[in-house]
Amino acid sequence: MPPSLHGSGPNPKTEHQNDPQDDPMIAQSRLRRARHDRWLREGDLSVGRRLAQIGVLGWIFVTPTLVGLFLGRGIDARLGSGIFWTAPLMVLGLCLGGWTAWKWMNAQ
């Protein structure tokens, strides 16, 4: 029989498991080191910069919600349908704003 069937040859599963590139602990350690190196290069953000980010994040979240609200109110006023269009368009705007804010925060 070939040596790989007796267990004396290399086992592809154990070789793959011992690969340091696939170890999640090593990947997290490298990510932490990269973040620390970036912090050493760039330093902390100023208070003004942090407040500006909070303001931008608020407008990113609120603007689509308000657009959906006003668009829905306009359609409902024109059709006389109560809040039939206002509620779903406001929720759609809220979801769009939340998704956009999430994408913006992960890009930062």
Quote the pLDDT of residue 43.
77
First to last CA, the chain: 58
Stated pTM of the model: 0.58
Same domain for 76 and 102, yes or no, is yes
Same domain for 39 and 68, yes or no, is no
Residue 77: which domain range?
48-108
Task: Say whether pLDDT at 96 is over 90.
Answer: yes
- Provide, rounded to the nearest whole percent, the portion of the chain with pLDDT above 70: 80
Residue-wise pLDDT for 13-49, tens only, equals: 555 556 667 788 888 889 899 988 888 888 777 888 8
Which range, of 7-11, 25-29, 78-82, 89-93, averages the lowest pLDDT?
Answer: 7-11
Q: How confident is the model at residue 8 (pLDDT cuts 50, 70, 90)?
A: low
Is residue 3 included in any domain, yes or no? Answer: no
CA 107 to chain CA centroid, Å, is 8
Is residue 58 included in any domain, yes or no? Answer: yes
Quote the pLDDT of residue 35.
86
Arithmetic mean of pLDDT over the chain: 84
